[in-house]
Structure 1
């Protein structure tokens, strides 16, 4: 089904929209429409809202999620990927066999998304644009098994193409950094099997897709994004590089088992933020 976007506008109150998203997250209040009824008419305007949210949020950015722009909207926006900030208080760590309770917005939207998380080195010597995939791979210091806690108070956040995620913290409420994948190579990452089981039923088994240069293309995108927007590029930036076993709509009470075949496993339980 084609994505039907809400009306667009280039004349939006960036601060008011950001405040609406921030307050909705703080109060766990569902938003059934984009604040004000109009979505930004450009990705840059969406990122301006995101930057204002970061200013208003009482926490620091310690990681980023990278997601995809729906294929049918890539020509319109002239972009294949999008980014959103991950805050320190919602960065979780888990060991092999561990379990994490993840806060989700009960009245909003949530999904179970298994991803690789990559830690980057110092990016200062890389160009602001035109980063190659080889340079992106060379910038990766460590690779972890991980998970994006995809959740937002915006009930139909995924119906707005890339502007929903961009304008609301990337539609995320945190990232899990799992065990490290030691002695990694690009080939090992692309061939790593991953299995996701939700509420006792296996929903997907697969490995990272190489399209658009896979997770390394996500790293390339983020490096250029950080430089364009004057965000921190010192060593230690974490990036959740995109879904491996698909996007699975979920809600508070759902449980998932994630297995990086032959490497590690961990489990998660989605819990309404009001209950934590």
Structure 2
């Protein structure tokens, strides 16, 4: 993308966020993760909302990615979110980490051990919605430019000392309107939740701040719901997060 094309994409997505409107597509699709991240950052600067959390992906083969989540859209469980806020009503049950101290940017990458010592762990629901009218029909790089089609985060209770937990093999239960939809051991897409937190810290040009949260990949797939639905994700030994979608 050219500089004017990046600027135009940021303008379009920022206006959609401010106005609560939806668009069909970007005029030009980003050709790289770096371009999509740059659009995210420029949208955030235009909208002016503090960033309270991130989503991060760290595929074993492939480039790490991240998406910014506005602090106003981080809610404590049990939470209510309206169709006006999150019109697509997508849900991903995840394990997330809250940074307990600042990890400033530096030239030497942070190690897994350093990051693990600087986070608490918590169950979350990532609420998926988008500025695109049909987000899953858009190319992956357009979705990434729109913060990975993230809309919000619902947070459960956090655990400061989680060294006894076998995070990749937690028993996970996903409940919708009181009925269990999924019950299984494990389910993280890479079997390595902390890798997303490590990747995020080393991606951020300005580092991360104490209190910010990173969520690290769906254990439940990406189902979509309707107004009135109640969704709960529960991790044995960790706790649960719940969201209700209001009309």
Q: TM-score range by the shorter chain?
A: 0.7 to 0.9
Distance 1:160 1:134, change over 3 A: farther
Q: Which of 29, 32, 40 is 1:39 aligned to?
A: 29
Aligned to 1:4: none
Quick one: distance in 1 between partners of 2:244 and 2:188? Answer: 29
- Tell which deviates more after alignment, 171-180 or 201-210: 201-210
Query: Do 1:207 and 1:244's aligned partners in 2 also have CA atoms closer than 8 Å?
Result: no
Q: Residue 186 of structure 1: CA displacement?
A: 6.4
Alpha carbons 2:58, 2:65 under 8 Å: kept: yes
Q: Does 1:60 align with 2:38?
A: no
Residue-by-residue CA offset, 1:212-267 (whole Å, 9 max, x unaligned): 461111011101111xxx23434333111211222213344432122233553443
Secondary structure in structure 2 of the residue aligned to 1:166: helix
Q: CA deviation at 1:56?
A: 0.9
Q: How many residues align?
A: 246
Match of 2:183 among 189, 205, 215: 205
Structural mapping, 1:61-140, within 5 Å: 61-67=51-57, 78-79=62-63, 81-94=64-77, 99-104=78-83, 109-120=88-99, 121-124=101-104, 128=107, 130-140=109-119
Q: Which runs of 5+ in 2 are unaligned?
A: none
TM-score between both structures, scaled by the size of structure 1: 0.76
3-state secondary structure, aligned to 1:180: coil
Cα distance in 2 between the residues matched to 1:211 and 1:261 = 18
1:183-218 residue CA offsets vs partner (Å, 9 max, x unmatched): 312643233222112234422223444664611110
State the TM-score, normalizing by the size of structure 2: 0.84
- The reply to whether residue 27 of structure 1 matches residue 12 of structure 2 is no
Other-structure match for 1:219: 197
CA–CA distance in structure 1, aligned partners of residues 96 and 143 of structure 2: 19
- Alignment of 1:193 onto 2:198: no
Q: Is the 8 A contact 1:43 1:163 kept in 2?
A: yes
Gaps of 5+ in 1: 1-8
Contact 1:150 1:173 in 2 (8 A): yes
**Closer, same or farther: CA 64–208 of 1 in aligned 2, 3 Å:** farther
Inter-partner Cα distance in structure 2 for 1:12 and 1:250? 37
4+ long deviations beyond 6 Å: none
Kept in 2, the 8 Å contact 1:105–1:153? The answer is: no
| Aligned CA distance change for structure 1 residues 110 and 266 (closer, same or farther; 3 Å) | closer
For the structure 1 residues 104 and 17, does the alpha-carbon distance in structure 2 shift closer, same or farther, using more than 3 Å as the test?
Answer: farther
Q: Alpha carbons of 1:138 and 1:265: their partners in 2 closer, same or farther (altered >3 Å)?
A: closer
What is the deviation of 1:44?
1.1
Q: Contact 1:65/1:84 (CA < 8 Å) preserved in 2?
A: yes
1:150: Cα distance to partner?
Answer: 1.4
Partner of 2:220: 245
